[in-house]
Amino acid sequence: MKNTLDRGVYLFENFNGCKLHFKKYKDHIIIVAFHSVALGPAIGGVRILKSTSIEDIEDAKIIVSRLAKSMTHKASIAGINSGGGKAVICLTQALLQNQNDDDAVRANKEKRMEEIFLGFGKFVESFNGDYITAPDAGTNSWHMEIIKRETKHVVGLTDPSPMTALSTIEGMKMCLSEFYGNETFNNRH
């Protein structure tokens, strides 16, 4: 069921168990998925998806709804009082950096990306704290700093990679301990 809201925002009710909000522009689409806000705001990163056509968003809807659900489960397992959310920004290939771009083209694309992330920040702010965004695939702390200019509902202003790596190693150790009875990586193939 599709409802048109003001300012070009659309809401898809109960798509794959989520509520999807999206904004469509000439060169990109922003989709924010809410899986749950029962325990607190929906938390989840924003990722960049390459799109061959702005008209084709079916894959993005499936991806963002599945990721939002997984964020609800992650928050629950971690004992965090929040729900699951996720956002994607679908960009056409023309907006993505290319190693063959000259300096002027690269600068224009960077400026356009800044405008897109400022717009995303405004979109996040429109949810009045029900969605908190963070870096995900294709985004980093630079993007979060831009988003922060428009909303306070953003985390990940520093590089999360070291903590992600640490949590991955700790998870692997837990699996080793459960399966082998110890946490050593030695002689495991």
Q: Which residues are catalytic?
A: 86
DSSP 99-124: TT--HHHHHHHHHHHHHHHHHHHHHH
DSSP 8-state code for residue 44 = E
Q: Is the dihedral of CA 76, 78, 80, 83 positive or negative?
A: negative
Tokens of 124: 């996040």
Helix, strand, or coil (residue 77)? helix
How many CA atoms lie less than 13 Å away from 48 in the CB half-sphere?
15
For residue 24, CA distances in Å to 7, 21, 27, 55, 57 come to 10, 10, 8, 9, 10
